Chains A and B, each alone.
Chain A
Amino acid sequence: MTALSTFDSARICADFPILSREVRPGVPLIYLDSAATSQKPASVIEAMNDYYRRSNANIHRGVHALAEEATALYEGARERVARFINACSTKEVIFTRNATEAINLVAYSWGRANVNAGDAIVITEMEHHSNLVPWQMLAAEKGATLEVIPVTDDGELDLSTFDDILQKRPKLVCLTHMSNVLGTINPVTDIAAKAHAAGALVLVDGAQSVPHLPVDVQTLGADFLAFSGHKMCGPTGIGVLWARQALLEDMPPFLGGGDMIRRVYLREFKANALPHKFEAGTPAIAEGVGLGAAVDYLTGTGMAAVHAHERQIIAYALERLEEVPGVTVYGPKAERKGGVAAFSLAGVHPHDIAQVLDRDGIAVRAGHHCAMPLHDRYQLPATARASFYLYNTMGEVDALIEGLYKVKKMFG
């Protein structure tokens, strides 16, 4: 019995209402853009709907029934997220808008308190802009320097200079767990061990990994982990910063306002306890509830099963893509990456690839995927990207390939 036969794609597809729609009359949707945002199962949509229909109230301070219910739902979501990533405590789970805001929270709070002129911050060449720009801003403000881990031709981190970089005693090493372009799964645990030995903390962008593979923060080696709800079957507008409790305790608050305070005087305030210290203002409550339902959905399916399914899909997709003349796929081999395939087709701009595929209802992305420096590294103005999730099937890979042959015919 193969792993695939234990993974019931048809049942999973049926859980996602949008997957049964037609993009245009007679053209069913083939959604290959989950690295940008995932689709949502009915359970998530219904949880948010129910919240607004039955339980809507502001959280934490009210004593009436709805306020207590809403608080229990929101905090229940936090407990689910904590369990999902094996956090030691819900105090370590800070809700943000998305991974980008989570990274910015660290840059503003921890960064401004701990990074000084001349300090080094390490980034990598394969980062999403959200794990580059906050550090560029911090470095510019503080007079800190950025050290870069380059990428090899094969799309993996080139760690040959990492020891030299660590000689500079950087304060922080920032890296993605899984590249949103190349699909590369980075050896975070090994890198973190070295970074820690050199006295650096480690921030991991988990926007692409947490939705797609089992992530355990107690073994990962990261000190900070950022991820987004909308890429893991949840709604937009909710994301997570996980960090070690001791770090969060020492960090100054980020945004000021309601909920993040214990006591306010006219000229000063006392910050609230974790995790509320970092959550100013009325949060995205319904979105939190939706994320809780998404975590339930993924837990019910099993992250190991999700990862195994995507490994099979990407292995098949790479095999089929490579047989199309003129196609170049970027990034490592299937066994070293997640379900993301960025590719080009000789003589055809990625926009045109995406546009022609769209006629057959196939949704792929074209552009730089918020990783301009990485595209510069490979001297590519843009790539087309097909990205897969638990609801994708081998048949959809076949449809992609068939679509690419149509593109070739049109532009040939």
Chain B
Amino acid sequence: MDDMYREVILDHYKNPRNFGTLDPADISYEDDNPLCGDRIRIDLRLDENQRVKEVAFSGHGCAISQASASMLTEEILGKTLDEIRHIGKEQVLELLGIELGPVRLKCALLSLKVLKAGAYGLKEED
């Protein structure tokens, strides 16, 4: 059994945590990886201390992109936007616990890209 589809990844893929949308949301960002067709949107609600109170993700894509998004939403509950801005890609790869080639790395990191763009208050491109 190879690592890439270890049980925890398949579990997050089949039973994504915090899947859905928040309307209204304090922060909402969406992006895709047009090369493989992965798409992820992340919505955040913040409490009075600017900490993540609620989070939801939606979209579609491969098991790696969806599992990493699901794991990431669990990870950021209670975190401040500043803490989110400091999440590195190593942390996401640690959550996934697998080694990835350059192509699949893009899948794994799409959710972090979306989350950080949201945290930095970027406007969605087209």
Interface residues of A (CB under 8 A from B): 348-352, 355-356, 359, 366-368, 372, 375, 380-382, 410-411
Contact with A along B38-58 (1 / 0, CB 8 A): 110000000000000000000
In the complex, the chain A residue whose C-beta lies closest to that of B35 is A367
Complex Cα gap A368–B36 (Å) = 7
Q: How far, in whole Å, are A411 and B10 apart by their CA atoms in the complex?
A: 7
> Which 8 residue pairs across A and B have the least CB separation, nearest first?
A381-B37, A349-B62, A351-B62, A382-B37, A352-B63, A352-B62, A351-B36, A367-B36
A to B CB contacts below 8 Å, 10 in the list: A349-B60, A349-B63, A350-B37, A350-B62, A351-B64, A355-B4, A380-B37, A381-B60, A411-B10, A411-B14
**Interface membership of chain B positions 1-40, coded 1 if the CB is closer than 8 angstroms to chain A and 0 otherwise:** 0101100001001100000000000000000001111110
Cα–Cα distance between A411 and B14 once the two chains are bound (Å): 8
User: What separation, in Å, do the CA atoms of A381 and B10 have in the docked complex?
Assistant: 21
B89 at the interface (CB under 8 A from A): no
Q: Find out whether the CB atom of A351 lies under 8 angstroms from the CB atom of B60.
A: no
Question: Quick check: is B107 within 8 A (CB to CB) of the other chain?
Answer: yes
| B112: min CB distance to chain A, Å | 18
Are A368 and B37 neighbours in the complex by a CB distance under 8 Å? yes
Take A351-B104, A351-B107, A355-B4 as given contacts and tell me if A411 and B63 are in contact as well, using a CB distance cutoff of 8 Å. Answer: yes
In the assembled complex, the Cα of A355 lies from the Cα of B4 at a distance in Å of 9
B14, B35, B62 pick with most chain A CB within 10 angstroms:
B62
Instruction: Give the complex CA separation of A408 and B13 in angstroms.
Output: 14
Q: How far is the CA of A16 from the CA of B6 in the complex (A)?
A: 35
Asked whether A410 and B61 contact (CB < 8 A) given A351-B104, A356-B5, A366-B36, the answer is no
User: How many contacts A-B (CB < 8 Å)?
Assistant: 52
Given pairs A350-B37, A355-B5, A381-B38, 5 additional interface contacts (CB within 8 A): A355-B4, A368-B34, A381-B39, A382-B36, A411-B63
**B63 surroundings in chain A (CB, below 8 A):** 348-349, 352, 411
B contact residues, range: 20 to 34
Name the residue of chain A whose CB is nearest to the CB of B13.
A411
CB distance from B91 to the nearest CB of A (A): 22
> How far, in whole Å, are A411 and B34 apart by their CA atoms in the complex?
23
CA A359 – CA B1 in complex, angstroms?
9
> How many Å from the CB of B66 to the closest CB on chain A?
8
Query: What are the residues of chain B within 8 A of A372 when measuring CB–CB?
Result: 34
Name which of B4, B37, B65, B104 has the most chain A CB atoms within 10 A of its CB: B37
Known: A351-B62, A352-B63. A410 touches B5 (CB 8 A): yes
Q: Judge whether B10 and A410 touch: CB under 8 Å.
A: yes
Residues of A within 8 A of B37 (CB): 349-350, 367-368, 375, 380-382
Q: Which residues of B contact A381 (CB under 8 A)?
A: 36-39, 60-61
Specify the chain B residue showing the minimal Cβ separation from A349: B62
- With A351-B107, A410-B10 given, is the CB distance from A359 to B2 under 8 Å? yes
For the complex, give the distance between the alpha carbons of A349 and B63 in Å: 7
Residues of chain A lying within 8 A (CB to CB) of residue B2: 359
What CA separation (Å) do A382 and B39 show in the bound complex? 12
Measured CB to CB, the nearest residue on chain B to A381 is B37
* Nearest residue, chain A, Cβ from B103: A351
A348 to B63, CA, bound (A): 8
- The complex places the Cα of A222 from the Cα of B5 at a distance, in Å, of 48
CB distance from A197 to the nearest CB of B (A): 39
Give which listed residue, B10, B14, B34, B61, contacts A349 with CB less than 8 A: B61
